[in-house]
Structure 1
Protein backbone atom coordinates (compact mmCIF):
# COMPACT_ATOMS: atom_id res chain seq x y z
CA UNK A 1 0.00 0.00 0.00
CA UNK A 2 1.34 3.45 -0.92
CA UNK A 3 2.10 5.62 2.10
CA UNK A 4 0.15 8.79 2.73
CA UNK A 5 3.33 10.75 1.99
CA UNK A 6 3.52 9.18 -1.49
CA UNK A 7 -0.04 10.29 -2.22
CA UNK A 8 0.67 13.97 -1.61
CA UNK A 9 1.33 15.65 -4.94
CA UNK A 10 0.90 19.23 -6.18
CA UNK A 11 -2.23 19.64 -8.24
CA UNK A 12 -4.00 16.72 -6.57
CA UNK A 13 -6.47 16.95 -3.69
CA UNK A 14 -6.87 14.13 -1.18
CA UNK A 15 -10.44 14.16 0.15
CA UNK A 16 -10.62 12.78 3.69
CA UNK A 17 -14.07 12.17 5.14
CA UNK A 18 -14.44 12.45 8.88
CA UNK A 19 -14.93 9.14 10.68
CA UNK A 20 -16.08 9.09 14.27
CA UNK A 21 -17.29 5.59 15.16
CA UNK A 22 -17.20 2.03 13.87
CA UNK A 23 -20.15 2.50 11.52
CA UNK A 24 -18.79 5.63 9.84
CA UNK A 25 -15.35 4.01 9.61
CA UNK A 26 -16.63 0.87 7.91
CA UNK A 27 -18.82 2.75 5.45
CA UNK A 28 -16.11 5.25 4.47
CA UNK A 29 -13.40 2.60 4.26
CA UNK A 30 -15.20 0.66 1.52
CA UNK A 31 -15.66 3.68 -0.76
CA UNK A 32 -12.16 4.02 -2.16
CA UNK A 33 -10.99 7.22 -0.45
CA UNK A 34 -7.21 7.65 -0.31
CA UNK A 35 -7.25 8.63 3.35
CA UNK A 36 -9.66 8.96 6.25
CA UNK A 37 -9.70 11.55 9.04
CA UNK A 38 -10.48 10.59 12.63
CA UNK A 39 -12.27 13.73 13.77
CA UNK A 40 -11.74 14.75 17.38
CA UNK A 41 -15.11 16.50 17.65
CA UNK A 42 -17.03 13.52 16.25
CA UNK A 43 -15.03 10.86 18.07
CA UNK A 44 -15.35 12.54 21.46
CA UNK A 45 -19.08 13.12 20.92
CA UNK A 46 -19.66 9.56 19.69
CA UNK A 47 -17.47 7.78 22.22
CA UNK A 48 -18.10 9.87 25.32
CA UNK A 49 -21.13 12.04 24.51
CA UNK A 50 -19.08 15.11 25.44
CA UNK A 51 -18.01 18.31 23.66
CA UNK A 52 -14.56 18.51 22.08
CA UNK A 53 -13.22 20.79 24.80
CA UNK A 54 -10.20 18.98 26.20
CA UNK A 55 -12.32 16.49 28.18
CA UNK A 56 -11.14 13.35 26.36
CA UNK A 57 -7.82 11.93 27.54
CA UNK A 58 -4.92 10.48 25.60
CA UNK A 59 -6.05 7.01 26.67
CA UNK A 60 -9.58 7.63 25.38
CA UNK A 61 -8.30 8.74 21.99
CA UNK A 62 -5.42 6.32 21.39
CA UNK A 63 -7.81 3.41 21.93
CA UNK A 64 -10.12 4.91 19.31
CA UNK A 65 -7.15 5.20 16.95
CA UNK A 66 -6.26 1.57 17.58
CA UNK A 67 -9.83 0.43 16.90
CA UNK A 68 -10.28 2.55 13.77
CA UNK A 69 -6.89 1.75 12.28
CA UNK A 70 -7.43 -1.94 12.98
CA UNK A 71 -10.66 -1.89 10.99
CA UNK A 72 -9.48 0.32 8.13
CA UNK A 73 -7.76 -0.67 4.91
CA UNK A 74 -7.38 3.05 4.11
CA UNK A 75 -4.64 5.23 5.68
CA UNK A 76 -6.06 7.01 8.73
CA UNK A 77 -4.82 10.24 10.12
CA UNK A 78 -5.98 11.19 13.54
CA UNK A 79 -6.59 14.24 15.66
CA UNK A 80 -4.06 14.37 18.49
CA UNK A 81 -5.27 17.68 19.97
CA UNK A 82 -2.44 19.46 21.83
CA UNK A 83 -0.49 16.25 22.41
CA UNK A 84 -2.27 16.00 25.79
CA UNK A 85 0.26 18.04 27.72
CA UNK A 86 3.88 19.18 27.50
CA UNK A 87 6.79 17.96 25.41
CA UNK A 88 7.06 14.59 27.15
CA UNK A 89 3.34 14.05 26.59
CA UNK A 90 3.74 14.92 22.91
CA UNK A 91 6.50 12.34 22.53
CA UNK A 92 4.33 9.72 24.25
CA UNK A 93 1.29 10.64 22.14
CA UNK A 94 3.13 10.46 18.82
CA UNK A 95 4.63 7.09 19.66
CA UNK A 96 1.27 5.82 20.85
CA UNK A 97 -0.65 6.96 17.76
CA UNK A 98 1.99 5.53 15.44
CA UNK A 99 2.02 2.19 17.26
CA UNK A 100 -1.79 2.16 17.18
CA UNK A 101 -1.69 2.21 13.38
CA UNK A 102 -2.38 5.82 12.38
CA UNK A 103 -0.72 7.13 9.22
CA UNK A 104 -0.50 10.69 10.57
CA UNK A 105 -1.20 12.75 13.67
CA UNK A 106 -2.57 16.27 13.86
CA UNK A 107 -1.16 18.49 16.62
CA UNK A 108 -2.31 22.02 17.41
CA UNK A 109 -0.98 25.06 19.23
CA UNK A 110 -3.93 25.73 21.52
CA UNK A 111 -3.74 26.14 25.25
CA UNK A 112 -5.07 23.27 27.35
CA UNK A 113 -7.96 22.63 27.59
CA UNK A 114 -8.36 22.95 23.82
CA UNK A 115 -11.56 23.83 22.01
CA UNK A 116 -12.93 22.68 18.69
CA UNK A 117 -11.82 24.80 15.72
CA UNK A 118 -14.41 27.23 14.32
CA UNK A 119 -15.74 27.78 17.86
CA UNK A 120 -15.05 30.89 19.98
CA UNK A 121 -12.64 31.27 22.87
CA UNK A 122 -9.61 29.44 21.46
CA UNK A 123 -6.25 30.58 22.85
CA UNK A 124 -2.80 29.59 21.67
CA UNK A 125 0.45 28.91 23.49
CA UNK A 126 3.63 30.94 22.74
CA UNK A 127 5.10 30.21 19.32
CA UNK A 128 8.35 28.86 20.77
CA UNK A 129 6.47 26.26 22.82
CA UNK A 130 4.31 25.31 19.86
CA UNK A 131 7.28 24.86 17.54
CA UNK A 132 9.06 22.79 20.20
CA UNK A 133 6.09 20.41 20.26
CA UNK A 134 6.33 19.90 16.50
CA UNK A 135 10.09 19.34 16.73
CA UNK A 136 9.63 16.72 19.45
CA UNK A 137 6.85 15.07 17.42
CA UNK A 138 9.05 14.81 14.33
CA UNK A 139 11.88 13.33 16.39
CA UNK A 140 9.64 10.87 18.27
CA UNK A 141 8.23 8.94 15.30
CA UNK A 142 9.81 5.69 14.18
CA UNK A 143 9.13 6.19 10.47
CA UNK A 144 9.09 9.26 8.24
CA UNK A 145 6.00 7.73 6.62
CA UNK A 146 4.16 8.64 9.83
CA UNK A 147 3.27 12.26 9.06
CA UNK A 148 3.11 15.25 11.39
CA UNK A 149 0.23 17.61 10.63
CA UNK A 150 0.89 20.93 12.38
CA UNK A 151 -2.16 23.07 13.05
CA UNK A 152 -2.31 26.67 14.25
CA UNK A 153 -5.46 28.22 15.67
CA UNK A 154 -3.93 31.71 15.84
CA UNK A 155 -5.96 33.22 12.98
CA UNK A 156 -9.14 33.84 14.97
CA UNK A 157 -7.61 35.71 17.92
CA UNK A 158 -4.36 37.08 16.46
CA UNK A 159 -4.92 37.46 12.73
CA UNK A 160 -3.66 35.75 9.61
CA UNK A 161 -0.10 37.11 9.70
CA UNK A 162 0.52 35.54 13.10
CA UNK A 163 -0.97 32.27 11.89
CA UNK A 164 1.39 32.31 8.89
CA UNK A 165 4.36 33.07 11.15
CA UNK A 166 3.51 30.06 13.26
CA UNK A 167 3.03 27.79 10.27
CA UNK A 168 6.49 28.80 9.02
CA UNK A 169 7.96 27.97 12.42
CA UNK A 170 6.22 24.58 12.30
CA UNK A 171 7.66 23.90 8.85
CA UNK A 172 11.15 24.66 10.13
CA UNK A 173 10.52 22.38 13.14
CA UNK A 174 9.84 19.38 10.91
CA UNK A 175 6.10 19.36 10.11
CA UNK A 176 5.08 17.44 6.99
CA UNK A 177 1.69 19.11 6.44
CA UNK A 178 0.61 22.61 7.49
CA UNK A 179 -2.90 23.33 8.74
CA UNK A 180 -3.82 27.00 9.18
CA UNK A 181 -7.20 26.74 10.86
CA UNK A 182 -10.18 29.00 10.15
CA UNK A 183 -9.18 31.37 7.34
CA UNK A 184 -12.26 33.47 6.78
CA UNK A 185 -12.10 34.50 3.12
CA UNK A 186 -10.92 33.12 -0.20
CA UNK A 187 -8.31 35.89 -0.24
CA UNK A 188 -6.88 34.60 3.04
CA UNK A 189 -6.81 31.08 1.63
CA UNK A 190 -4.95 32.38 -1.45
CA UNK A 191 -2.35 34.02 0.80
CA UNK A 192 -1.85 30.77 2.71
CA UNK A 193 -1.40 28.89 -0.55
CA UNK A 194 1.26 31.33 -1.77
CA UNK A 195 3.22 31.24 1.47
CA UNK A 196 4.43 27.64 1.75
CA UNK A 197 6.01 24.83 -0.23
CA UNK A 198 4.80 22.08 2.12
CA UNK A 199 1.46 20.35 1.55
CA UNK A 200 -1.45 22.35 2.94
CA UNK A 201 -4.64 21.11 4.59
CA UNK A 202 -8.03 22.83 4.55
CA UNK A 203 -10.64 22.05 7.18
CA UNK A 204 -14.08 22.07 5.54
CA UNK A 205 -16.73 22.67 8.20
CA UNK A 206 -20.22 23.25 6.88
CA UNK A 207 -21.49 26.28 8.79
CA UNK A 208 -17.97 27.16 9.98
CA UNK A 209 -15.78 30.20 9.37
CA UNK A 210 -13.93 29.03 6.23
CA UNK A 211 -15.54 29.28 2.76
CA UNK A 212 -16.84 25.92 1.54
CA UNK A 213 -15.61 25.52 -2.04
CA UNK A 214 -15.28 22.90 -4.76
CA UNK A 215 -12.41 20.44 -4.99
CA UNK A 216 -11.09 22.27 -8.07
CA UNK A 217 -11.05 25.55 -6.17
CA UNK A 218 -9.11 24.04 -3.27
CA UNK A 219 -6.50 22.73 -5.71
CA UNK A 220 -6.23 26.13 -7.39
CA UNK A 221 -5.67 27.73 -3.98
CA UNK A 222 -2.78 25.35 -3.28
CA UNK A 223 -4.31 22.78 -0.97
CA UNK A 224 -3.46 19.08 -1.18
CA UNK A 225 -5.73 17.70 1.55
CA UNK A 226 -9.31 18.62 2.38
CA UNK A 227 -10.76 17.13 5.54
CA UNK A 228 -14.52 16.96 6.05
CA UNK A 229 -14.79 16.22 9.78
CA UNK A 230 -18.38 17.28 10.37
CA UNK A 231 -20.45 16.42 7.31
CA UNK A 232 -20.94 12.79 8.35
CA UNK A 233 -22.09 13.40 11.90
CA UNK A 234 -24.16 16.43 10.87
CA UNK A 235 -26.00 14.22 8.36
CA UNK A 236 -26.38 11.52 11.00
CA UNK A 237 -27.67 14.03 13.54
CA UNK A 238 -30.30 15.37 11.15
CA UNK A 239 -31.40 11.86 10.18
CA UNK A 240 -31.68 10.70 13.80
CA UNK A 241 -33.59 13.84 14.78
CA UNK A 242 -36.05 13.08 12.00
CA UNK A 243 -36.37 9.34 12.67
CA UNK A 244 -36.55 9.56 16.46
CA UNK A 245 -38.95 12.48 16.21
CA UNK A 246 -41.28 10.40 14.07
CA UNK A 247 -41.08 7.47 16.49
CA UNK A 248 -41.89 9.77 19.41
CA UNK A 249 -44.84 11.37 17.60
CA UNK A 250 -46.38 8.24 16.07
CA UNK A 251 -44.98 5.32 18.02
CA UNK A 252 -44.07 3.56 14.74
CA UNK A 253 -41.51 3.64 11.94
CA UNK A 254 -44.06 3.57 9.12
CA UNK A 255 -44.00 7.35 8.80
CA UNK A 256 -40.23 7.75 8.69
CA UNK A 257 -39.20 9.98 5.78
CA UNK A 258 -35.41 9.87 6.16
CA UNK A 259 -33.73 7.46 3.72
CA UNK A 260 -32.96 4.10 5.30
CA UNK A 261 -30.22 1.70 4.26
CA UNK A 262 -31.23 -1.80 3.26
CA UNK A 263 -30.84 -3.90 6.40
CA UNK A 264 -29.08 -6.85 4.77
CA UNK A 265 -26.70 -4.67 2.76
CA UNK A 266 -25.91 -2.65 5.86
CA UNK A 267 -25.25 -5.85 7.78
CA UNK A 268 -22.80 -6.94 5.11
CA UNK A 269 -21.01 -3.60 5.36
CA UNK A 270 -20.67 -4.13 9.11
CA UNK A 271 -18.91 -7.48 8.55
CA UNK A 272 -21.74 -9.99 8.85
CA UNK A 273 -20.88 -11.54 5.48
CA UNK A 274 -17.66 -12.87 7.01
CA UNK A 275 -19.61 -14.17 10.01
CA UNK A 276 -22.03 -16.07 7.78
CA UNK A 277 -19.22 -17.50 5.65
CA UNK A 278 -17.30 -18.59 8.76
CA UNK A 279 -20.34 -20.28 10.24
CA UNK A 280 -21.06 -22.09 6.98
CA UNK A 281 -17.45 -23.26 6.64
CA UNK A 282 -17.35 -24.53 10.22
CA UNK A 283 -20.88 -25.93 10.52
CA UNK A 284 -19.58 -29.50 10.74
CA UNK A 285 -17.44 -28.62 13.74
CA UNK A 286 -20.54 -27.51 15.63
CA UNK A 287 -22.43 -30.73 14.82
CA UNK A 288 -25.01 -29.08 12.57
Structure 2
Protein backbone atom coordinates (compact mmCIF):
# COMPACT_ATOMS: atom_id res chain seq x y z
CA UNK A 1 0.00 0.00 0.00
CA UNK A 2 1.39 3.37 -1.04
CA UNK A 3 2.00 6.04 1.58
CA UNK A 4 -0.44 8.95 1.00
CA UNK A 5 2.50 11.32 1.17
CA UNK A 6 3.76 9.90 -2.12
CA UNK A 7 0.75 11.39 -3.90
CA UNK A 8 1.40 14.82 -2.39
CA UNK A 9 5.07 14.58 -3.37
CA UNK A 10 4.04 13.76 -6.93
CA UNK A 11 1.74 16.81 -7.02
CA UNK A 12 4.47 19.07 -5.68
CA UNK A 13 6.95 17.70 -8.21
CA UNK A 14 4.56 18.29 -11.11
CA UNK A 15 3.83 21.83 -9.99
CA UNK A 16 1.23 23.96 -11.67
CA UNK A 17 -0.25 25.46 -8.48
CA UNK A 18 -2.39 22.39 -7.75
CA UNK A 19 -5.50 23.70 -5.91
CA UNK A 20 -6.24 22.09 -2.54
CA UNK A 21 -9.36 23.27 -0.66
CA UNK A 22 -9.52 23.33 3.11
CA UNK A 23 -12.10 21.59 5.29
CA UNK A 24 -12.73 20.86 8.94
CA UNK A 25 -14.80 17.67 8.87
CA UNK A 26 -15.29 14.45 6.88
CA UNK A 27 -18.34 15.81 5.04
CA UNK A 28 -16.32 18.72 3.71
CA UNK A 29 -13.56 16.33 2.63
CA UNK A 30 -16.12 14.13 0.87
CA UNK A 31 -17.42 17.17 -1.02
CA UNK A 32 -13.86 18.10 -2.00
CA UNK A 33 -13.24 14.58 -3.28
CA UNK A 34 -16.61 14.48 -5.07
CA UNK A 35 -15.75 17.73 -6.88
CA UNK A 36 -12.62 16.08 -8.30
CA UNK A 37 -9.81 17.68 -6.30
CA UNK A 38 -6.61 15.66 -5.87
CA UNK A 39 -6.14 16.39 -2.16
CA UNK A 40 -7.79 18.00 0.87
CA UNK A 41 -6.41 20.19 3.62
CA UNK A 42 -7.57 20.20 7.25
CA UNK A 43 -7.31 23.81 8.35
CA UNK A 44 -6.79 24.85 11.95
CA UNK A 45 -8.86 28.04 11.71
CA UNK A 46 -11.83 26.16 10.30
CA UNK A 47 -11.65 23.37 12.87
CA UNK A 48 -11.34 25.85 15.73
CA UNK A 49 -14.29 27.80 14.31
CA UNK A 50 -16.35 24.61 14.15
CA UNK A 51 -15.76 24.32 17.92
CA UNK A 52 -16.98 27.91 18.31
CA UNK A 53 -13.44 28.94 19.29
CA UNK A 54 -10.87 31.38 17.85
CA UNK A 55 -7.73 30.00 16.22
CA UNK A 56 -5.33 31.02 18.98
CA UNK A 57 -3.89 27.65 19.95
CA UNK A 58 -6.81 26.43 22.06
CA UNK A 59 -7.18 23.08 20.29
CA UNK A 60 -4.80 20.36 21.42
CA UNK A 61 -2.77 17.93 19.39
CA UNK A 62 -5.27 15.23 20.35
CA UNK A 63 -8.17 17.35 19.07
CA UNK A 64 -6.43 17.84 15.74
CA UNK A 65 -5.28 14.24 15.30
CA UNK A 66 -8.67 12.75 16.11
CA UNK A 67 -10.44 14.93 13.55
CA UNK A 68 -7.70 14.35 10.98
CA UNK A 69 -8.13 10.59 11.38
CA UNK A 70 -11.88 10.90 10.74
CA UNK A 71 -11.24 12.95 7.61
CA UNK A 72 -8.55 10.62 6.26
CA UNK A 73 -10.78 7.60 6.83
CA UNK A 74 -13.68 9.19 4.93
CA UNK A 75 -11.86 9.88 1.65
CA UNK A 76 -9.44 8.19 -0.71
CA UNK A 77 -7.55 11.39 -1.60
CA UNK A 78 -4.52 12.39 0.50
CA UNK A 79 -4.97 14.87 3.34
CA UNK A 80 -2.56 17.58 4.50
CA UNK A 81 -3.04 19.02 7.99
CA UNK A 82 -2.25 22.18 9.89
CA UNK A 83 -0.08 21.14 12.83
CA UNK A 84 0.35 24.67 14.20
CA UNK A 85 3.71 24.93 16.04
CA UNK A 86 3.92 21.20 16.75
CA UNK A 87 2.38 21.42 20.26
CA UNK A 88 5.56 21.66 22.28
CA UNK A 89 9.29 21.04 22.13
CA UNK A 90 11.27 18.67 19.95
CA UNK A 91 9.93 15.48 21.56
CA UNK A 92 6.36 16.78 21.31
CA UNK A 93 6.81 17.62 17.65
CA UNK A 94 8.18 14.16 16.86
CA UNK A 95 5.19 12.63 18.66
CA UNK A 96 2.83 14.92 16.72
CA UNK A 97 4.26 13.69 13.44
CA UNK A 98 3.98 10.05 14.50
CA UNK A 99 0.36 10.56 15.56
CA UNK A 100 -0.70 12.25 12.32
CA UNK A 101 1.12 9.68 10.20
CA UNK A 102 -0.51 6.82 12.13
CA UNK A 103 -3.88 8.53 11.49
CA UNK A 104 -3.36 8.16 7.74
CA UNK A 105 -2.34 11.74 6.99
CA UNK A 106 -0.10 12.50 4.00
CA UNK A 107 1.79 15.39 5.54
CA UNK A 108 1.64 18.47 7.74
CA UNK A 109 2.94 21.97 8.05
CA UNK A 110 4.70 23.50 11.04
CA UNK A 111 4.89 27.25 11.54
CA UNK A 112 7.45 29.58 13.06
CA UNK A 113 5.20 31.35 15.57
CA UNK A 114 5.68 31.25 19.31
CA UNK A 115 3.30 29.25 21.49
CA UNK A 116 0.43 29.90 21.82
CA UNK A 117 0.09 30.73 18.13
CA UNK A 118 -2.50 32.82 16.32
CA UNK A 119 -4.19 32.45 12.96
CA UNK A 120 -1.88 33.85 10.29
CA UNK A 121 -4.47 36.43 9.27
CA UNK A 122 -4.66 37.87 12.81
CA UNK A 123 -2.65 40.76 14.22
CA UNK A 124 -0.24 40.38 17.11
CA UNK A 125 1.73 37.36 15.90
CA UNK A 126 5.25 36.75 17.23
CA UNK A 127 7.86 34.44 15.73
CA UNK A 128 10.54 32.20 17.16
CA UNK A 129 14.13 32.64 15.95
CA UNK A 130 15.05 30.87 12.74
CA UNK A 131 17.25 28.42 14.66
CA UNK A 132 14.30 27.25 16.74
CA UNK A 133 12.19 26.76 13.63
CA UNK A 134 14.99 24.68 12.13
CA UNK A 135 14.95 22.53 15.27
CA UNK A 136 11.19 22.01 14.85
CA UNK A 137 11.69 20.78 11.32
CA UNK A 138 14.54 18.45 12.29
CA UNK A 139 12.39 17.02 15.09
CA UNK A 140 9.55 16.46 12.63
CA UNK A 141 11.86 14.66 10.21
CA UNK A 142 13.15 12.46 13.02
CA UNK A 143 9.61 11.60 14.09
CA UNK A 144 8.21 10.38 10.80
CA UNK A 145 8.10 6.65 10.14
CA UNK A 146 8.27 6.95 6.36
CA UNK A 147 10.37 9.42 4.43
CA UNK A 148 7.33 9.83 2.16
CA UNK A 149 5.45 11.71 4.90
CA UNK A 150 5.56 15.36 3.79
CA UNK A 151 6.90 18.00 6.18
CA UNK A 152 6.17 21.58 5.18
CA UNK A 153 7.73 24.62 6.81
CA UNK A 154 5.54 27.69 7.14
CA UNK A 155 6.67 31.22 7.91
CA UNK A 156 4.38 34.04 9.03
CA UNK A 157 7.15 36.62 8.68
CA UNK A 158 5.59 38.62 5.85
CA UNK A 159 3.22 40.78 7.89
CA UNK A 160 5.77 41.27 10.69
CA UNK A 161 9.17 41.71 9.03
CA UNK A 162 8.54 41.83 5.30
CA UNK A 163 9.75 40.04 2.20
CA UNK A 164 13.48 39.92 2.94
CA UNK A 165 12.93 38.04 6.20
CA UNK A 166 10.48 35.68 4.49
CA UNK A 167 13.19 34.73 2.02
CA UNK A 168 15.79 34.30 4.77
CA UNK A 169 13.46 32.00 6.69
CA UNK A 170 12.37 30.05 3.61
CA UNK A 171 16.01 29.31 2.80
CA UNK A 172 16.68 28.28 6.40
CA UNK A 173 13.71 25.90 6.29
CA UNK A 174 15.08 24.38 3.10
CA UNK A 175 18.45 23.83 4.78
CA UNK A 176 16.70 22.25 7.78
CA UNK A 177 15.17 19.60 5.52
CA UNK A 178 11.64 20.85 4.83
CA UNK A 179 10.06 19.10 1.85
CA UNK A 180 8.28 22.33 0.87
CA UNK A 181 7.73 25.83 2.21
CA UNK A 182 4.42 27.60 2.73
CA UNK A 183 4.22 31.39 2.77
CA UNK A 184 0.96 33.21 3.59
CA UNK A 185 0.29 36.96 3.31
CA UNK A 186 1.88 37.52 -0.11
CA UNK A 187 0.03 40.23 -2.04
CA UNK A 188 1.84 41.35 -5.19
CA UNK A 189 3.11 39.46 -8.25
CA UNK A 190 6.64 40.60 -7.41
CA UNK A 191 6.37 39.09 -3.92
CA UNK A 192 5.05 35.82 -5.33
CA UNK A 193 7.88 35.52 -7.83
CA UNK A 194 10.60 36.47 -5.34
CA UNK A 195 9.54 33.84 -2.80
CA UNK A 196 9.08 31.09 -5.39
CA UNK A 197 12.53 31.78 -6.83
CA UNK A 198 14.28 31.90 -3.46
CA UNK A 199 14.39 28.13 -2.79
CA UNK A 200 14.82 24.91 -4.75
CA UNK A 201 12.10 23.00 -2.90
CA UNK A 202 8.41 23.41 -3.83
CA UNK A 203 6.62 26.53 -2.61
CA UNK A 204 2.96 26.49 -1.53
CA UNK A 205 0.66 29.50 -1.87
CA UNK A 206 -1.97 30.27 0.76
CA UNK A 207 -5.13 32.00 -0.47
CA UNK A 208 -7.04 34.50 1.68
CA UNK A 209 -9.66 35.73 -0.74
CA UNK A 210 -11.39 38.29 1.50
CA UNK A 211 -8.14 39.67 2.94
CA UNK A 212 -5.66 39.92 0.07
CA UNK A 213 -5.72 39.99 -3.75
CA UNK A 214 -6.61 36.72 -5.46
CA UNK A 215 -4.66 35.09 -8.30
CA UNK A 216 -5.65 32.53 -10.89
CA UNK A 217 -4.11 29.08 -11.02
CA UNK A 218 -2.27 30.09 -14.19
CA UNK A 219 -0.81 33.19 -12.53
CA UNK A 220 0.36 31.21 -9.51
CA UNK A 221 1.85 28.49 -11.69
CA UNK A 222 3.70 31.05 -13.79
CA UNK A 223 5.05 32.65 -10.62
CA UNK A 224 6.50 29.25 -9.67
CA UNK A 225 4.11 27.87 -7.05
CA UNK A 226 3.70 24.10 -6.94
CA UNK A 227 0.48 24.03 -4.92
CA UNK A 228 -2.16 26.47 -3.69
CA UNK A 229 -4.07 25.93 -0.46
CA UNK A 230 -7.52 27.47 -0.03
CA UNK A 231 -7.97 27.13 3.74
CA UNK A 232 -11.08 29.25 4.31
CA UNK A 233 -12.94 29.16 0.99
CA UNK A 234 -15.30 26.39 2.07
CA UNK A 235 -16.04 27.58 5.60
CA UNK A 236 -16.52 31.21 4.54
CA UNK A 237 -18.90 30.19 1.76
CA UNK A 238 -20.79 27.85 4.09
CA UNK A 239 -20.89 30.49 6.83
CA UNK A 240 -22.47 33.08 4.55
CA UNK A 241 -24.92 30.59 3.04
CA UNK A 242 -26.09 29.50 6.49
CA UNK A 243 -26.41 33.08 7.69
CA UNK A 244 -28.49 34.00 4.64
CA UNK A 245 -30.75 30.96 4.96
CA UNK A 246 -31.33 31.44 8.69
CA UNK A 247 -32.13 35.13 8.34
CA UNK A 248 -34.59 34.37 5.58
CA UNK A 249 -36.17 31.58 7.62
CA UNK A 250 -36.42 33.85 10.66
CA UNK A 251 -38.08 36.61 8.64
CA UNK A 252 -40.60 34.26 7.01
CA UNK A 253 -41.13 31.94 9.93
CA UNK A 254 -40.70 28.85 7.74
CA UNK A 255 -38.56 27.33 4.96
CA UNK A 256 -41.19 26.88 2.23
CA UNK A 257 -39.52 29.53 0.04
CA UNK A 258 -36.04 28.05 0.54
CA UNK A 259 -36.53 24.47 -0.65
CA UNK A 260 -35.15 25.07 -4.15
CA UNK A 261 -31.84 26.16 -2.65
CA UNK A 262 -31.40 23.02 -0.56
CA UNK A 263 -29.47 19.89 -1.43
CA UNK A 264 -31.71 16.87 -1.85
CA UNK A 265 -31.89 14.63 1.22
CA UNK A 266 -31.05 11.63 -0.97
CA UNK A 267 -27.96 13.36 -2.39
CA UNK A 268 -26.56 14.00 1.08
CA UNK A 269 -27.32 10.43 2.12
CA UNK A 270 -25.69 9.02 -1.00
CA UNK A 271 -22.47 10.97 -0.39
CA UNK A 272 -22.13 9.75 3.19
CA UNK A 273 -22.83 6.12 2.28
CA UNK A 274 -26.48 5.46 3.13
CA UNK A 275 -26.96 3.31 0.01
CA UNK A 276 -23.75 1.35 0.65
CA UNK A 277 -24.81 0.66 4.23
CA UNK A 278 -28.26 -0.49 3.11
CA UNK A 279 -26.77 -2.80 0.46
CA UNK A 280 -24.36 -4.26 3.00
CA UNK A 281 -27.20 -4.87 5.46
CA UNK A 282 -29.34 -6.50 2.78
CA UNK A 283 -26.48 -8.76 1.73
CA UNK A 284 -25.96 -10.00 5.27
CA UNK A 285 -29.67 -10.67 5.69
CA UNK A 286 -29.98 -12.80 2.56
CA UNK A 287 -30.91 -16.39 3.46
CA UNK A 288 -27.98 -18.73 3.19
CA UNK A 289 -28.10 -21.62 0.76
CA UNK A 290 -28.63 -24.89 2.60
CA UNK A 291 -25.55 -27.05 2.73
CA UNK A 292 -25.64 -30.78 2.15
CA UNK A 293 -24.95 -33.12 5.05
Cα contact 2:152–2:181 (8 A) shared by 1: yes
Query: Do structure 1's residue 236 and structure 2's residue 241 form an aligned pair?
Result: no
Which of 103, 119, 124 lines up with 2:122 in the alignment?
A: 119
Cα contact 2:154–2:181 (8 A) shared by 1: yes
Secondary structure of the residue aligned to 1:156 is coil
Deviation of the 1:90 alpha carbon: 0.8
Deviation of the 1:241 alpha carbon: 0.5
Which of 222, 229, 253 lines up with 1:220 in the alignment?
A: 222
Deviation of the 1:175 alpha carbon: 0.2
Secondary structure of the residue aligned to 1:201 is strand
Residues 171 and 258 from structure 1, CA distance in 2 versus in 1: closer, same or farther, beyond 3 angstroms?
Answer: farther
Instruction: Work out the CA distance in 1 between the residues paired with 2:11 and 2:215.
Output: 22
Q: Aligned pairs, how many?
A: 283
2:23 aligned residue: 19
1:262 aligned residue: 264
Query: Do structure 1's residue 199 and structure 2's residue 208 form an aligned pair?
Result: no
1:276 aligned residue: 278
Secondary structure of the residue aligned to 1:150 is strand
Instruction: Work out the CA distance in 2 between the residues paired with 1:58 and 1:272.
Output: 31
1:30 aligned residue: 34
When structure 1 is superposed on structure 2, of 114-123 and 102-111 the one drifting more is 114-123
2:249 aligned residue: 247
| Structure 1 segments of 4+ aligned residues over 3 angstroms from their partners | none
Deviation of the 1:3 alpha carbon: 2.4
Cα contact 1:94–1:140 (8 A) shared by 2: yes
Cα contact 2:108–2:151 (8 A) shared by 1: yes
Q: What is the correspondence of 1:30-179 to structure 2 with a 5 Å cutoff?
A: 30-46=34-50, 48-179=51-182
Cα contact 1:124–1:153 (8 A) shared by 2: yes
1:8 aligned residue: 12
When structure 1 is superposed on structure 2, of 135-144 and 106-115 the one drifting more is 135-144
Deviation of the 1:196 alpha carbon: 1.4
Structure 1 gaps of 5+ residues are: none
Instruction: Work out the CA distance in 2 between the residues paired with 1:166 and 1:79.
Output: 19
Instruction: Work out the CA distance in 1 between the residues paired with 2:152 and 2:211.
Output: 21
Q: Does 1 or 2 have the higher relative contact order (CA < 8 Å, sep 6+)?
A: 2
Cα contact 1:239–1:258 (8 A) shared by 2: no
Task: Write out per-residue CA displacement over residues 221-279 of structure 1, whole angstroms, 9 at most, x where no aligned residue.
Answer: 00011011111011111111011112222221012288321221121011111122123
Cα contact 1:17–1:28 (8 A) shared by 2: yes
When structure 1 is superposed on structure 2, of 157-166 and 251-260 the one drifting more is 251-260
Secondary structure of the residue aligned to 2:182 is strand
Instruction: Work out the CA distance in 1 between the residues paired with 2:209 and 2:16.
Output: 22
Deviation of the 1:30 alpha carbon: 2.4
Cα contact 1:178–1:199 (8 A) shared by 2: yes
Cα contact 2:170–2:198 (8 A) shared by 1: no
Instruction: Work out the CA distance in 2 between the residues paired with 1:185 and 1:24.
Output: 30
